[in-house]
Structure 1
Amino acid sequence: MKNKSIGIRVAFGMVAGIVIACGLLVALSSIFGSRILKKMVEDEVLSLTKEVARAVDDKLTAEGKIVETLAANPILTQSNYSFTEKSEYMQKQASRLGYVEFFISTLKGEGKKFTKGQEDFDASDREYFKESMTGKTFMSDILVDKMTGRNIIVISTPIYQNDKMVGIFGAVKSADFISNICAEFSWGESGIASIYDKSGQVIGHTNAKLVEEKLNILEKAAQDSSYQKLADFYTTKILTQTTGAGEYSFLGNNKLAGFYNMKVKDWTVLISVNSSEIMKPQTDLALLMALFALVVIVLLSILLHFVLTRPLIKALNDARANIEQLARLEIGKELPHDYSNRQNEFGDIYRAIQSLRQNITGLVQQIHSSIDKLTSSSKDFSQSCNSASAMATDITRTVDEIAQGATAQASDVQDGVAELSHMGEQMENNTVQMKEMIGASDRVDLLQVEGKSQLQSLIDSTKQNTEISAKIQEAIKNTEQSVDEINLAGDTIKSISDQINLLALNAAIEAARAGESGRGFAVVAEEIRKLAESSNLSTEQIRKSVVTLAERTQYAVSQIIESNRVVEEQSVNVAGMSEKFEGISDALEHLRNTIEKIFTANERINEAREKVSSSMSNIAALTEENAASTQEISASMQEQNDTFLMIATESEALLELGEDLERISSEFKL
């Protein structure tokens, strides 16, 4: 669906605003007008209630004056007039003045009517008689005539003769005059005037029929709910206030009413009128204002269209054309519609668009410059990555060679351990032979008594001892040779450790040059350096142990030489053995001690051999660990080489991205 023009929207918004404003104006005018009119009507109703109450008061006062005037008529006190004459006179006056009848009463309450029948009655218990006996004119409440059933009012006043009260004169007046006064009230079609007593009894009404029906609104409300609102208004307002106004609902109509409590009698004047009739002028005025507002809306809409909407739409279309030029990336051309001289919102929009065009132009120029720098930096970075990759390849090759050397070193150390094991076996053989020599010495000592007879056996034993000594000397020489080989192996290990330490130092330097990507390689190089230092320490310990072993071996050799010398002396002097046989025991004891010393030295040599073997095993393990670490370094360098290759690839991609940016920025027409 096609979007509506912004001009239509603006016009619609303005019209809607005017409609709302006019609607609010009409509504507020209607509300406040209704309130003002209602207040005026309430004031008018209160004024009318007071006028009606005043009219009733005046009427009652006038009726009292009439009765007082009639009571002062001499005919009532002069004896020369018969009662019949008096009655005829009073009947004429009653007919003329609108009374039902007159009557007279003695001070004892003996009453008599001025009628054709001249009826007698007892007035002593009547309220009006008692009140008039006090010397004042009294007007009763609404009474019901028992004969006719009509509502009446009795007015009584004292009769004076020579300023002395001689009787009571009374008049019976129909209460219809109250309804007549209410009927004289006229206010539109629904205006009603009514008068109630304190009990809620209607004593006067525009509709006199309600008075004849003796309507009591309080009693009626208990029977008919339609009277309830009126009864509530009567009890809550009329009985509690002297005068006032209010509203209530009666028979489906909203009533606006005013009331006034009279001073002469405890009666209340109530005037009511339908609210709809009162508010009709206000309703007509509201309709007229709505029609006027509609005309104003139409005229203002036409005026706004030509004065505001059309220039607004033109300015917006010009701004759109300027923005469309920027959207076509034609930033080198001047904007087609110039609003720079206007000091309003459209001038601000034009200046903002112009500033945007200049900013885009500067931005595109900066992008071109940045693209050139990016292309150059990408090429240099790619070359650096290729160089780093080649260097990493060389390092990997060197590390592989180190790994191969470490593996060979581990093999040589294992051979040294095997040689030490063989040396141990020979040392054990020497121990066994020395134990046999001790046994032989013991037997010689036991058989010294048979020395002469066993001289030949001694010669044989001496020869055997010489041979054994030669073998021991040979074994010790072999041990010395093994010690030399261990020293040579230790020197070799130390040399390899120094080379590994140097390589680790070079690797750490290269890792530092590589920056963040070489951090892992630097950790591995540091571990290799620590292993090399550990290998140097182990080699030094082995060297010290070998020196000790060599010293003890030299001592064993010297002892063996001494033993050989003794054996040789025994061989030379065997001819004189007979004479010196007594010293054989001492010589054998000396020999036993010497053999024990040799045995002890042999045990020490064996212990040193075991230590050397353990050290050589440790060296072998360290060498194998060095080989494994070197292989890990080789793998890490290979990964680093792959990373350099990947960075080089990314650099080429970055170079391609710079070319794409160059192509995109070229679309801006500067």
Structure 2
Amino acid sequence: MSRFKVSISRKFTVLLFIVLLLTSLVLSTSFYFISTSTFDNYVIPQIDKSLTTASQDIYKNLNATHAQQTLNKSEQSRTNVEYYFQDKKKQLEVETIFLISLKDDKATVLTADHGAKLQYDEEISINSAMKQAAKGKTGLSDIYTDSHGVHKTAYVGIPGSPMIIGVSADVGFIQDKMNNIMWTSAAITLASLIVGMAAAIFMSRKITKPITKLAAYSNKLAEGDFTEELNIKSNDEVGQLSESFSRMSHRLKEMIGQVLNTSGTVVEDSNDLKERVEVLNRMAERSAESVEAISKGSTTIASTALDNSRAMEEINLGIQHIASAAGEVTEQISEASAEATGGNEIAQSAVQQMRQVQEASIHSLQQFRVMNERSLMIGEVVQGITEITKQIQMLSLNASIEAARAGEHGRGFAVVAGEVRKLSEQSKDLNEQIREFLLGLQEDMNRSVAEMNHVNTEVASGVGKVVEAGNAFNHLLVLIQSINHSVQSVSAATQQISAGTEEVSASVEDTAQITAKSQAGAELLAENSSRQHEELEGHAQTVQHLYEQAIKLQQAVQQFKI
């Protein structure tokens, strides 16, 4: 509650409420007085003029005798005046027309229009307008209120008598209008205050809500929480402030992220450096141990150098023997290579001849297949001849039947038909023989084709075997040549090794001398290794301190959440 008392929202709301209240009061008061002035300057003068005119007209047309008799309480005259007032009321459209007697500071109603609320012999209040009318002038009363309503009356005195004619107009609507204006002004004021307060609260919240968000966001930033995003949509100064604040937080977030990454890298690098220094320290210790071992080993190397020299002489003799044997093997492999080359040429010639035989067998197989096809065609022709022979027999049979029907005239035709039948039977027999011969020929051709296929298969197999033999000879030739090259390389290598062993023998003698020098260098290296170990220990302490500082930096930066 204390925070709300000093908040911008409350200040803004109170200020706007005061401004609206003063503005509403000024506007409502102005409206009220302007409305009152309008009635006073325009409406009431018109009513006064209308009442004055009506009263003068009634006075001029009033029967003075009847009026005097009414003062003397004549009932008939009072009735006549009453109906006269009734006619004028309708004619002039006024509220009430009445006649009063003003005596002894008392105003008494003598008569009024028919239907008026004023009663006969009723006393009414005296006002200044009545007194002015009694002096012979037209008097106009102010707006007054009595038991019959709100009125404004014009009075005209009858000279020579205490009687006064009164013409009243109902001005209650003015009072109603004024009341309405007053209440309307109050309502407008209240509505303005309500709307203004709502608008003030709305505007204040619209202004303070992003500021509140901004304050909460800044508090989280102050606590180190950068995980949330500031989302304030506004085009005013608050929006610009939030945008600049958001840019600032993003830059801080990036900077802290970089610091986090850098701190992590520093921790990792310092840890790595620490490990490396430890490794170097261990390596220095091992180097010191190695130097001692080298010092001890150099003595052993010097003692074994002489033994190595004698062993190298023996190795040299063995290598020379290997070189002479390798020369003999090279000569034998050269002879085998020549023989393999001749065998390869013979195998290649056999391969060529087998391929020619394969081509001839394939050609023969094709010829046999053509002959088989042609024998099949001959069989089809023989089949056609057989069909023709059957038709000839049918024709001869039909001819015999027709000759028998012809009797004597058809004998010659019957003889011819018989001869034709005999020829057809002979053709049939010959066709059967040809058919059997062709069937036998076809079987022989099929067997020949099968045999040629078998021969062709065997030839192809032989060609493959001969090709394999040729390939084997080629491979053998390549192997022999490879072995020859290898043996030559071995011979050359043995010669080089022989020369190298002589050089090694010489270098072994030099090694003994170098070993003595190495022993002196090993002692100096031991001293340097001791100094290096001391320096590494100092570096290790420095790296340890750097690692501890990097850990503290990382712990401090990890308080921020991004």
Q: TM-score, normalised by structure 2?
A: 0.31
Structure richer in helix, relative to its length: 2
Q: Which fold has the larger relative contact order, with Cα–Cα distance below 8 Å and residues 6 or more apart in sequence?
A: 2
Q: TM-score, normalised by structure 1?
A: 0.27
